[in-house]
Amino acid sequence: MMRIATWNINSVRLRLNQVLNFVNERKIDTLCLQETKTQDEFFPLDDFIKAGMKYQYFRGEKSYNGVAILSNTKFTDMNHTDYCKKGDARHVSVKFINDIELHNFYVPAGGDEPDISTNQKFDHKISFLNEMKSNFLKDQKTKKILVGDLNIAPFEHDVWSHKQLLNVVSHTKIETDTLLEIIRTGGWVDVMRKLVPHDEKLYSWWSYRNKNWEISNRGRRLDHVWVSKNLFSKVKSGVIYKDTRNWERPSDHVPIIIDINI
């Protein structure tokens, strides 16, 4: 059994102690981080080695983006795809025993205006998603796990107000349709929505602007765990771990944890 967690940490160096405490307390075997916001030479690899995660693959940038896979279980075939040929650190992948691939993504946020003709950031986001769709169409036989901050809340109850957010980036029709098309054509299962009924509100992100985030609960489910259909029977549990949002100087995202028999 492997316990996998995914977390947009919004600076791994700033929140290193939080991450290490989380790994220890929740007994995480494999941790996938997004928005690490540090160059590779400054990544705190020794701290994770001391925490038992000696297998590491990370790609970072100064102050922006950055993704990492850290594990106490050996992996091979460390790789990445330079989506949209921008040279930013938004994807890494590794392969575990039994040839199971793990992909960790940080999809572009998309800026403020949901218009590909006037907003280059939004155009980048949609192009990135379309490239993901194309890449995962190529092979539906491989056993795969996909995690990360995908910056899209695809379903009605993945946002605090479906009507009010229909024209807000992260819940627009072009984004949600494209994400759901990736799931459909790539043979994926959206783990948390398979485990939690669609009529139940489910969030992983709450804005820093909202001081009373728990009371108002104006969240969005921007973070995801997917598995290929041929792996879903191996998933034993999944939870969005909201406790971290109350920690001192928290990330605005919280981790998702799954237990999978691999």
In the structure, what pLDDT confidence band is assigned to residue 65 with cuts at 50, 70 and 90? very high
| CATH number of domain containing 151 | 3.60.10.10
Total number of domains in the chain: 1
Predicted local distance difference test score (pLDDT) of residue 58: 98
Write the pLDDT tens digit of every residue in 238-250. 999 999 999 999 9
241 DSSP assignment:
-
Query: What value does the mean pLDDT take over residues 110-114?
Result: 97
Q: Pick the closest to residue 103 from 87, 126, 80, 120 (CA basis).
A: 80
pLDDT at 141 over 90: no
Percentage of the chain beyond pLDDT 90 is 95
Q: With a threshold of 0.85, does the pTM exceed it? A: yes
In sequence order, which residues have a C-beta less than 8 Å from that of residue 49 and are 6 or more positions away? 56
Q: In what order do the strands lie in the sheet with 100-106?
A: 76-79, 91-96, 100-106, 144-149, 223-228, 188-190
What is the largest distance, in Å, between two alpha-carbon atoms of the chain? 48
Tokens of 97: 């025993």
Which domain does 120 fall in, by range? 2-260
